[in-house]
């Protein structure tokens, strides 16, 4: 094991490896507030990249951003019965609006609220109440709004990025005149998420509806994109919900139709969160640390001057700065290439390893010998840390975008190949039980009915139906548990 690698390795202890990758890459840390994380600058820069791409896609599909209150009156949450049932156990509740010194001088909450306020775990109810005011007529539809926000779901077993009490996300909330339009919107946003995951995160996903038991509380239909992590587990990376008229009825979101009638709206909601950062980490990183797909890397490349004396340093640093400004003129994925020079005066090996662990896609080292040869020594994060290629300095501005494109493609292909190698089709309940006896069993495509009876098979295995994949031809046959005919196979896996 190289001295600077992550310890433990993925094979030794995957969950602990994950924590160590996060730490070594300086992405985030636990805070003193139970379950809440501090997203450190490098982690937040990845989120900013994700936000920037997604926000552009949302706007390109006709959405606008808005902002709704953090607090939800308890009575709002109660309006949709399944919804409140789904979230009641994990709500942070504000009960007072003031602090005053108590008898012992310590502060105590005072100013009790008449009605407690819930810190939003999601915003269907507060936004729905607003839409009920905004929407009067069919002319007001569709309403296509997205919100970037923090949400809180009290979490007893927090895990950085994957499961935290507070997280950052976006939540789209739309209202439509017909069921067909709302379903079209639900699937359009599922597709936006799938494209983002595959094109930008280099993370292959399987998209499809969830079985009834796994739906968003209050939804008619929940669709998700599911990715495979390197330990074979599934991670739900985004969801898009067709809410039917459930919330519209509960919250009285009605509109006058073009023909003079009155109807309830059809609504949708859809979201992705900072959990995606965890998904990216577990999809691409290796035993040397974080690996980032170039499209969401805060910096595409770092330029590292190598010098042994002050004179050397001056010459080499000047060459690095020159290269930096020439590279900034190149573009990748429609944006200027993001390059930085790291001139810090620390041991060269330590510096290289920091950038390896932080997942910078390309490292460009320049020393006196490189300069003499008119080249730079280029290392790709998707290859071994010692591998390098001499590329003429003059050619780099043209070559770098192609290198980044190739890294992006390689990461996707690698993840797709892993998923392919860890996926099976199973035909009987016994095969399912045997397959999932293995703790890192991967994906199984199995015919199961959307029926509570299948829990008897899956629950003991700690396996769930992730979704019923939309792609590919029908593949009808009997449910492995109930024997009832089903048109397609479902994706079964253990999940984060």
Separation of alpha carbons 149 and 69, rounded Å: 10
The H or E element that residue 346 is part of is none
Q: How far is the CB of 387 from its own copies (least distance, A)?
A: 30
Separation of alpha carbons 144 and 156, rounded Å: 34
Task: Give yes or no for a contact between 347 and 385, defined as CB atoms under 8 angstroms apart.
Answer: no
Q: Enumerate residues 12-41 that contact its own copies by CB under 8 A.
A: 29, 31-33, 36-41
The DSSP output letter for 198 is I
Stretch that binds its own copies, among 104-112, 183-191, 330-338, 433-441 (CB under 8 A): 104-112
Q: How far is the CB of 1 from its own copies (least distance, A)?
A: 28
Nearer to its own copies, 69 or 368 (CB): 69
Q: Is 149 in the site for its own copies (CB under 8 A)?
A: yes
Buried residues in 421-443 as b, exposed as e (16+ CB within 10 A): ebbeebeebeebbebbeeeebbb
Task: Give yes or no for a contact between 253 and 175, defined as CB atoms under 8 angstroms apart.
Answer: yes
Q: Is 150 in the site for its own copies (CB under 8 A)?
A: yes
Q: How far is the CB of 269 from its own copies (least distance, A)?
A: 17
Stretch that binds its own copies, among 95-103, 172-180, 354-362, 459-467 (CB under 8 A): 95-103
Strands 107-119 and 93-101: antiparallel
Task: Give yes or no for a contact between 145 and 133, defined as CB atoms under 8 angstroms apart.
Answer: no
Stretch that binds its own copies, among 146-154, 184-192, 225-233, 394-402 (CB under 8 A): 146-154
Q: Is 77 in the site for its own copies (CB under 8 A)?
A: yes
Q: Is 343 in the site for its own copies (CB under 8 A)?
A: no
When binding is defined by CB under 8 A, the residue of 21, 160, 168, 407 that contacts its own copies is 168
Nearer to its own copies, 108 or 180 (CB): 108
Q: Is 250 in the site for its own copies (CB under 8 A)?
A: no
Nearer to its own copies, 117 or 248 (CB): 117
The H or E element that residue 295 is part of is none
Q: How far is the CB of 361 from its own copies (least distance, A)?
A: 19
Separation of alpha carbons 431 and 414, rounded Å: 27
Nearer to its own copies, 147 or 330 (CB): 147
Separation of alpha carbons 356 and 362, rounded Å: 9
Q: Enumerate residues 401-440 that contact its own copies by CB under 8 A.
A: none
Per-residue 3-state assignment (H helix, E strand, C coil) for 18-38: HHHHHHHCCCEEECCCCCCEE
Nearer to its own copies, 229 or 337 (CB): 337
When binding is defined by CB under 8 A, the residue of 11, 15, 62, 78 that contacts its own copies is 78
Q: How far is the CB of 59 from its own copies (least distance, A)?
A: 10
Q: How far is the CB of 267 from its own copies (least distance, A)?
A: 17
Q: Is 350 in the site for its own copies (CB under 8 A)?
A: no
When binding is defined by CB under 8 A, the residue of 10, 16, 71, 169 that contacts its own copies is 71
Nearer to its own copies, 110 or 428 (CB): 110
Instruction: Assign 158 to helix, strand or coil.
Output: coil
Nearer to its own copies, 119 or 352 (CB): 119
Nearest to 251 by CA among 418, 84, 2, 396: 84
When binding is defined by CB under 8 A, the residue of 2, 11, 12, 100 that contacts its own copies is 100
Q: Enumerate residues 105-144 that contact its own copies by CB under 8 A.
A: 106-107, 109, 111, 116-119, 126, 129-130, 133
Separation of alpha carbons 493 and 488, rounded Å: 16
Q: How far is the CB of 422 from its own copies (least distance, A)?
A: 34
Question: For the CA atoms of 250, 265, 242, 476, what is the dihedral angle to 10 degrees?
Answer: 110
Per-residue 3-state assignment (H helix, E strand, C coil) for 94-111: EEEEEEEECCCCCEEEEE
Q: How far is the CB of 32 from its own copies (least distance, A)?
A: 6
Per-residue 3-state assignment (H helix, E strand, C coil) for 447-484: CCCCCHHHHHHHHHHCCEEEECCCCCCCCCEECCCCCC
When binding is defined by CB under 8 A, the residue of 25, 73, 362, 480 that contacts its own copies is 73
Question: Is the Cα dihedral 347, 351, 352, 357 positive or negative?
Answer: positive
Q: Is 169 in the site for its own copies (CB under 8 A)?
A: no
Binding site for its own copies (CB under 8 A): 29, 31-33, 36-41, 43-45, 47-48, 64-74, 76-78, 84, 88-100, 106-107, 109, 111, 116-119, 126, 129-130, 133, 145, 149-150, 152, 154, 166, 168
């Amino acid at each position: 094991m190289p001295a600077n690698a992550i310890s433990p390795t993925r094979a030794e202890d995957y969950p602990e490896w994950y924590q160590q990758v996060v730490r070594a890459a300086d992405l985030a840390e636990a805070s003193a507030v139970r379950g809440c994380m501090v997203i450190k600058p490098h982690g937040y820069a990845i989120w900013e990249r994700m936000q920037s791409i997604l926000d552009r896609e949302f706007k390109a599909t006709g959405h606008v951003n808005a902002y709704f209150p953090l607090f939800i009156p308890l009575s709002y949450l109660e309006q949709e019965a399944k919804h409140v049932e789904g979230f009641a156990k994990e709500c942070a509740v504000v009960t007072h609006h003031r602090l005053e010194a108590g008898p012992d001088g310590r502060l105590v909450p005072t100013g009790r609220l008449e009605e407690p306020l819930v810190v939003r775990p999601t915003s269907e109810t507060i936004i729905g109440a607003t839409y009920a005011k905004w929407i009067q007529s069919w002319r007001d539809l569709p309403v296509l709004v997205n919100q970037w926000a923090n949400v809180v779901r009290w979490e007893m077993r927090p895990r950085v990025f994957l499961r935290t009490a507070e997280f950052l996300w976006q939540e789209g909330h739309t209202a439509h005149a017909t069921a067909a339009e709302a379903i079209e919107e639900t699937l359009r946003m599922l597709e936006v998420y799938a494209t983002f995951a595959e094109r930008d995160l280099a993370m292959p996903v399987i998209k499809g509806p969830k079985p009834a038991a796994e739906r968003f509380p209050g939804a008619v239909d929940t669709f998700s994109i599911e990715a495979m992590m390197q330990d074979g587990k599934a991670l739900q990376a985004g969801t898009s919900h067709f809410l039917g008229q459930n919330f519209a009825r509960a919250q009285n979101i009605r509109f006058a139709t073009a023909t003079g009638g009155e109807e309830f709206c059809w609504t949708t909601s859809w979201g992705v969160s900072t959990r995606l950062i965890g998904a990216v980490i577990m999809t691409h990183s290796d035993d040397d640390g974080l690996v980032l797909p170039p499209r969401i890397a805060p910096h595409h490349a770092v330029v590292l001057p190598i010098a042994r004396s002050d004179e050397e340093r001056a010459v080499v640093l000047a060459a690095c700065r020159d290269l930096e400004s020439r590279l900034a003129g190149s573009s990748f994925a429609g944006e200027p290439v993001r390059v930085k020079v790291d001139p810090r005066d620390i041991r060269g090996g330590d510096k290289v390893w920091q950038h390896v662990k932080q997942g910078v896609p390309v490292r460009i080292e320049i020393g006196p010998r490189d300069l003499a040869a008119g080249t730079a020594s280029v290392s790709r994060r998707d290859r071994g840390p010692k591998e390098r290629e001499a590329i003429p300095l003059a050619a780099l501005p043209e070559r770098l975008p192609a290198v980044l494109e190739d890294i992006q493609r390689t990461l996707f292909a690698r993840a797709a190949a892993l998923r392919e190698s860890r996926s099976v089709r199973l035909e009987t309940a016994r095969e399912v039980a045997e397959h999932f006896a293995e703790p890192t069993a991967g994906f199984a495509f199995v015919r199961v009915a959307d029926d509570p009876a299948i829990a008897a098979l899956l629950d003991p295995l700690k396996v769930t139906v992730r979704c019923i994949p939309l792609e590919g031809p029908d593949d009808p046959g009997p449910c492995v548990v109930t024997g009832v005919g089903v048109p397609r196979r479902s994706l079964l896996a253990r999940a984060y």
